[in-house]
Each structure stands twice: as structure tokens, then as C-alpha cells.
Structure 1
């Protein structure tokens, strides 16, 4: 069974945010938690007169959750600056990618691509004199589309 790939793990991941028109990531930040890679397909129910034994289900809109990143560390204020810029310009968007990594921490297993993101929430941590880093307690991104891009050999 040496041919079987190892199962995906959820503890190694990275997040990359690319503002519109930029090829370099917005900042280098590491987060302890990432949640909200979620989409829900709504359906409409249509009933036909006289057909009481069934109803037709028609696909409707796709809804996406907010991406929530918790307990992050960064060496700059780029996320704060981007949040402030998005308030001044509500059409300022970015694309983001959440990269699942293998156990070795460097081999890419899959990429979740989030399109047309806007910062939705930025929460500073509790201030503590024992910590010496710039921290982010919670950062949320609203996004309009979610796609999965498996890595070569990373899954089907």
C-alpha cells in the first residue's frame, strides 16, 4: 500500500492575500486558525398544481461564509492599512489563497482560491507586556467565489 497517498492534514497551512493588480502578497502573517472555507447551495422549491406527491427543486444562489483567521502574528501593519484603504475605496478588492501543506510544511497539497475579497473584521489582541510581537486576534475576509485547485499529485 505504498502507493496510497497520506491523508490531508489541517494543521499546516498558509494564507496569501493579493490586492488587485499586485503580484506580491499583501503581507507575511502567520495565523493559528483558519475557518470559513464554506459554500452553500440554496435551492428553490416549485410546486405544480395538482401534483401533491412531489415538488421540483431548482438550483438557486451560492452563498459563501466569511474566512476567519485567528491568532495571527505579523511584522508590519499592512493588514491594518489595507482595511483602512478599503473603507476609503469600497471597490478595492483582493484575491486570497489558503494553501494546505503536507506534514513536511513545504509540499503543497491544495489551494483554496477566494475571489474579490474585502476585509470584514480586524480585531487587535489584548495588550500584554509579556508579548513582543504585533498580533492580530481575528481577521475576517468576505469573498465572492471559492474554488479548489488541487496540487499536482495532491489529490483528485
Structure 2
């Protein structure tokens, strides 16, 4: 058995690409989720069950965090480009193990950056300077096509 087969869910890095532009590796990724809203319909004369009908799919905002790196400039450049016109590209998030092997990947449709949080620089608190990027999207796509 290879290491990948023994430990399929162990990942430490998440690579974010926007229309093929690599924005680098992130240490954490939260919010990869979807929820299908359901409307209940009680059919007259059918007392055996209540119909559960899907209405819409909601996707949560995704938050990616990492220590500050030279790749931060790519993120801030992407966010700054929103001022000249909104373009909603396709993105891809790939979960990677420490050895660089892939655990999983997700393609995201019509991605938009909604928030970037830079580091708090305080000489009295010698913590690692980190950044957090929040993105929204209109759904998942075939990750291979992203």
C-alpha cells in the first residue's frame, strides 16, 4: 500500500488557482460546503409521506489562510482588478499532502474575492504575520476543467 492509500485525508496545504493563475499555497481552507434548500409539499390524499422538493443550492464563503509570503502580491493584485470591472473566473482548490501529492480538488464557478485580511503588525506580539482571503462562488464544477 502506498502512503496515499493508507492516509487519504491527511492534507496540510491548499493550492488556489484562478483561471490558471497560481495564487500559491494556503495552510487552511474553511467553507467548502453546499446546502440544498428543500420545500415540503403535502399532497392531498397522500398521507404516507410529505414530498421533499429541492429549491436552490447555497454555497458558503470559502476562507483560505496562510503566513505572509511573496505570493500575497498576486492576491492583492487580483482583488485590485475588481475596481476596473468585475470578471468572475473559474477557480480550483487542490488539497495537497506535505510531499506534494494530491488528496482532492474542487473546481469553483464564477469566483469573486469578497474580503482580504492582512497581518496585524505589532512589535510587542512576535507572532507569524498571516493573511486571510475570503472568496464566494456560484457552485462547484468538474475540478479537472477548472
TM-score under structure 1 length normalisation: 0.73
The answer to whether structure 1 residue 24 and structure 2 residue 21 are counterparts is: yes
Given the superposition, is the C-alpha separation of residues 5 and 135 from structure 1 closer, same or farther in structure 2, using an over 3 Å criterion? closer
TM-score under structure 2 length normalisation: 0.77
Moved more, 36-45 or 48-57: 48-57
The answer to whether structure 1 residue 124 and structure 2 residue 114 are counterparts is: no
SS of aligned partner of 1:98: strand
Structure with the higher helix share, 1 or 2 = 2
Q: Structure 1: which 5+ residue stretches go unaligned? A: 151-156
SS of aligned partner of 1:84: helix
| 1:83 match | 79
The 5-angstrom pairing of residues 2-151 of structure 1 reads: 2=1, 5-19=5-19, 23-25=20-22, 27-28=23-24, 30-75=25-70, 76-90=72-86, 92-102=87-97, 104-129=98-123, 135-136=130-131, 138-147=132-141, 149=143
Aligned length: 140
Runs of at least 4 residues of structure 1 off by over 6 A? none
Q: Structure 2: which 5+ residue stretches go unaligned? A: none
**Shift, 1:140, TM fit:** 0.3
- Aligned-partner Cα distance in 2 for 1:14–1:53: 47
Cα RMSD (Å) of the superposition?
2.8
Structure with the higher strand share, 1 or 2 = 1
